[in-house]
Each structure stands twice: as structure tokens, then as C-alpha cells.
Structure 1
Amino acid sequence: MTDALLLGGIEAGGTKFLCAIADRDGSTLMQTRIPTTTPAQTLGAASAFFSEAARQHGPLSAFSIGSFGPLSLNTVASDYGCITSTPKAGWQNVDLLAHFRRTISAPMALDTDVNCAAVGERLFGSGQGLDTFCYVTVGTGIGVGLLINGAPHGGANHPEVGHIKLPRAPGDDRFAGICPYHGDCLEGLACGPAMQARWGVPAETLPSDHPAWAIEADYLAGLCATLTYTVRPDRIIIGGGVMQPQMYGRVRRALSEKLAGYDASMRSIDMDDYVAAPTAGSSAGLTGALALAYRTATRQWPMHWAITETPSSRAETVNA
């Protein structure tokens, strides 16, 4: 590892791509925000950004992407590196790694956006000091990142916990759900677009005493109970646009009811600490992607980094 270590990272989301390069200390040298439109336009703009970054700062030492999915993360699969059966129009079967390998000659890594956000939370947010925790995002979809023994969990492929089936919440027997694959899976019932489809307005515009929030809390508590019983994490961090501040108390109370006093170790859970809000800031996913690039280059996590919410004052924004 040298002082010239140069890292590239992308947080690839359904509405925007955040691209950046950083030095070995995690200080951002350049960054840009690119609207997610067509693959050709979006990936082309991202490639142009990294080409300009290389011209100004030199070649990358490692490069990582934290992307929306589903993704193929099994390195022996024929479609490794691809976005697969995403509901985002036009992005099915897009090969992310192949695209960037044509212009970037550096070791590469790919993981889910939620796993990268979980890495960011472990470094700088609500996951600090924890080796095993879950990061949940509730927004356009529902995704769950798992850090186990300090590293993102993969297995045969990444988890798709947002598509589990849960018992219907009281008072929610008639809504069909919006998932194009499963209808009334968790995401089909409880993501932001599902709430809008059920109630006719965006979730964030609903008053805090609206019955929507009790239904939403029941589904998210069901998710937390499932994660508790299967993963037994030290903490469950829940973020995303649907998680209004008043939701945390609702989810904690509903989770306590669902666990029903089972097992002494679960009875001792401090719900205020166990179900937590993210605190690493809106750049957690990009920070996690850059950290994954660091790990790809050095085989260790950058525990010495001191990034908080925003990029370093040395950052230069380029509109690709």
C-alpha cells in the first residue's frame, strides 16, 4: 500500500449515480451526481467522469460499485456483475462490471447498495463497534444489508429479504400489493410506492396519526422479528424515506409484541438501542463503496478513515 493509493466508487441508485474518487485516507478528491436515465447515458457519463479523474489524478488502484439490484454476485455465474431482474425499466441484464472494465484497469468489486450503506454505518454511523448488524432501507423498495463478522454477507448471492412473505397487518386485508413478481410480499405491501398506491398520496404527506403508520409499523416489525430470529444481530438500523421519526417508536413497540417474551436473551433487548436510525449521513452508500474499493486494494477495512457526513473540503465536483 502506497501513498498514491487512489480509489474509485459508485453508489448506483434508481434515481442517481454518485461517483467519486478518494485517496487512501478517504478524502474525496472529485465527485459527481449523475441522473439515472438509460444505461447508455448513465454509464457513459460515469465512465467519462472516471476518465477525467484518471487524467487529473492518475490511474485507480481499485474500483467498487454499490448498486441497486437484484445483482448477480456469484463470481462463477455466467451473469456475474449484472443487474438481473430489476423492475427498473431498461436496466434488466445490464453488465455493470463489463462496462467499466472496458475503461478502468484496476481490481473491481461489486455489492448491493444496502451492503455498502451498512459498511458506511459501521465506519461512521450507528453500526460503529458492531460486527453483526442489519441495515434496512425502506423507500422505493425495501432492501436489507447484512454485516456478519464485520463483512458484508453474500453466500450464493445477496439476500433479498424485502421479498419475504409476512402475515397481513390488522386492517390490511384487501390491498393486493404492487410487487410485479410476488404481489403482496413485504416490499409489495410496505415500500413507498406501495403506500402511495394504497392511500393515494405519498407516504411522507400522511399525518402522523393516520392508520397507514400502524400498518407500516406492523410489517416492518415483522421484518425485524424475522431478522432477529434468523440472524440475531446486535442492532437493526432502519433508514429510507418512509421511515419518518415517529415510526421508530411504533416499530419498537410492535416488535416487542411480536417477540412475545420468547427466549431470555431476547427479553433483555433494549429496543431503543436495538432498532436505530442511521447516522452516517446521506453519503453512507458512497462511503461504503469507496471503503470496499480500499478493501479490494489492501485486503483490510479502512478503520482509520475520518469521514463524517460530507466529502472532504478538498473535494471537487465535476458535472459529467
Structure 2
Amino acid sequence: MLLGAIETGGTKFVAAVGNEHGEVIEEITIPTTTPDETMPKILQFLNQYKIEGIGVGSFGPIDVNRQSPTYGFITTTPKLSWRHYNFVGALKEKFSVPVAWTTDVNVAGYGEYKLGNAKGTESCLYLTIGTGIGGGFIQSGKILNAYGHPEMGHLLVKRHPDDQFEGMCLYHHDCLEGLASGPAVEKRWGKKGVELSTNPKVWELEAYYIAQALVSYTLVLRPERIILGGGIMNQKQIFQFIRQQFKEMLNGYVDVPDVEKYIQPVGLQNKAGIIGGLLLAKEEASKTNFVL
């Protein structure tokens, strides 16, 4: 079975053709400019193959409510040229195949759940911490959506008493994304994260906000495993700070798996999204139902 996958990002689109096992046959990367420039190249690439389904993980917000008249649209994204773009509609015009449509974090989380560091679990929370922060939750093989998809990056967190940084979020200022995203680290400290690797104060503060969020997600969702990805998590030293502060904040209130296993880095590296897209395309082509 040949399948297509598309992962959209702020600077690039990745498209791939692969099989139902998540194995990639061919892959291309296209700069993210405008729909008129980017999409024809993606469609042309996929059209070289006789694919039976397409899985898409898109930056958001997006409309994932199948009952909505704008299902399949990118909605109020800050990327102005992509606002209110009918992504699924563009694919359906070209291909008469099922399309699995979800967020970029959901496809990466699904890849990790099936073949990555959450393989073998019943439930997985995936969080990416980079240019922005977003999360997805997988339970018994199904992606959690409701009226819309979760926006986990905008969780409100308690400010550290020594942190005077105002926050970067245009909507909430000092939400999780506003205080702990890559741009927030750079603006607060005056340097990019990669230049701050040897400064433990940076990563202790970062861990303070991330650990708070993980406690909240744990209390609400009770996942079996948490996977952390994104550029910030390339600073591997941060994991020890997150796990330590998570244990202190949770304070034994509920049982969780051993924290070393509970909070994990990504296992599929930068392929999680594409692999997840292929696997979701397989499920959609097989008429598997998702939580909407």
C-alpha cells in the first residue's frame, strides 16, 4: 500500500510517500511561502505515485470538526497567507483518496505512540517545545479532539518568583508558550538556546514551567507516557531538571510510572511527524474512526 504524508511547518513543508508500516520511500522538502507557491509542488510530488490515502499534520489552529462547514481549513494562523485556507479541499480536488487531517503535534505523537518511545503503551501525551509549544494526546490508538483540537501550549502557568520576563504570547503574554518557547528563551536571556547550553539557570527556569504543565496534563489526562520533542528538548540536560521539579510539584498526589520512563525524549527524532502521517493515512484508508 502506497500512502502520502504531509507535515507543515513555519519554514518548510515535508512531503513523503511510504507504506503502511511507516517506511518512507521518497521525501521532499519545500519552503513554506504561500499556498499558491507551496501547494502545487507538494501535489505534483505526490501525484507521481498511486497513493491510497494521505495523512496531514498541519500548523494551526485548524478545523478538525467533521461536522463543521470549514472542516479541513487552516483557520486563524499567524501565517497570514495561510489563514482560512482549505487544505483538505485542495487535496481532494487532486486526489480521490481518504485524507487524515490533524495537527502537526498530533501526527508526531501518533508516530511516537505507534513506533517511537511510547510504543507499547495505551496512552501517550506528546508535547513539542520549540518556536511554539503544542501538544496532543493519544488514547487506545485514537487522537483526542473535541469541539476542536487541544491547544496545550497556551496553558496558564504560575510565574517563577524571580522571573520578570513579560512573556511572548500575543494573546496571553505569560502562558506556557509565552514563557517557555524558544523565542521566549532567546528574548529573556539575549541569546539563542544553543548558546546557553552551559548555563544551568536557563534550563532550571525552563524546567520550572514545563514541569508545571506536565503536572497539569498528568492530573487531567493521566497518560501512561509523556514524550517531549522540539528544539528546546535538544538540550538533553533539561530532562533531569524537568523530572526533578515534576516530582516535587506533583508531591506524590497521584501514582505515575517511574519518572525516568514516564518523561521521555522523542524516539523517532525529526521523522515522527512523517511516520505518524503515513500511519494515519493507513488508518483513514482503512476507515478507522477517530475521536472527533
TM-score normalized with structure 2 length: 0.94
Q: Does 1:176 align with 2:189?
A: no
Q: Out of 114, 120, 126, which is 1:129 matched to?
A: 120
2:238 maps to 1:239: no
Comparing 119-128 with 16-25, greater Cα deviation is found at 16-25
Q: C-alpha separation between the residues in 1 aligned to 2:101 and 2:198?
A: 38
Matched with 1:297 is 285
Give 1:5-84 correspondences, 5 Å limit: 5-51=1-47, 53-54=48-49, 58=50, 60-84=51-75
Aligned equivalent of 1:212, options 158, 177, 202:
202
For the pair shown, the structure with the greater C-alpha radius of gyration is: 1
User: Aligned to 1:182, what secondary structure does the other structure show?
Assistant: coil
**Cα offset for 1:208?**
2.8
Structure 1 counterpart SS, 2:82: coil
Matched, 1:101 2:63: no
For structure 1, the 5+ residue unaligned runs are 302-320
> How much has 1:25 moved relative to structure 2?
4.3
Q: Distance in 1 between matches of 2:185 and 2:80?
A: 21
Residues 1:26 and 1:213: Cα distance change in structure 2 (over 3 Å): closer
The number of equivalent residue pairs is: 288
Map Cα deviations across residues 209-229 of structure 1 (whole Å, 9 max, x no partner): 342212110000011000110
| Higher mean C-alpha displacement, 5-14 vs 245-254 | 5-14
Residue type of the alignment partner of 1:213: W
The letter for the 2-side match of 1:163 is H
- In structure 2, the residue matched to 1:262 is 253
Which is helix-richer, 1 or 2? 2
SS at 2:283 equivalent: helix
Instruction: Name the SS for the 1:8 alignment partner.
Output: strand
Q: 1:82 deviation in Å?
A: 1.1
Q: CA deviation at 1:123?
A: 2.1
Q: How far does residue 181 in structure 1 lie from its aligned partner after superposition?
A: 1.3
Range with bigger deviation, 33-42 or 205-214: 205-214
Structure 1 CA distance for aligned equivalents of residues 8 and 151 of structure 2 = 17
Any conservation in 2 of the 1:87–1:180 contact (CA below 8 Å)?
A: no
Which 5+ residue runs of structure 2 have no aligned equivalent? none
State whether residues 19 and 278 of structure 2, in contact with CA within 8 Å, keep that contact through their aligned partners in structure 1: no
3-state DSSP of counterpart to 1:242: helix
Alignment partners' CA distance in 1, 2:26 and 2:248: 48
**Which whole-Å CA distance do the structure 2 matches of 1:180 and 1:92 have between them?**
17
TM norm structure 1: 0.86
Contact residue 221 and residue 254 of structure 1 kept, 8 A: yes
Q: Say if 1:22 and 1:207 are closer, same or farther in 2 by CA, change over 3 A.
A: closer
Contact 2:21–2:279, Cα closer than 8 Å, also in 1: no
Q: Is the 8 A contact 2:23 2:275 kept in 1?
A: no
Overall identity of the aligned pairs, in %: 39
1:304 match: none
- What amino acid is the match of 2:216? T
Deviation at 1:115, TM superposition (A): 1.0
In 2, distance between residues paired with 1:25 and 1:201? 41
Aligned residue number for residue 307 of structure 1:
none
Read off the aligned partner of 1:291 and give its amino acid letter.
Answer: L
2:184 matched residue in structure 1? 194
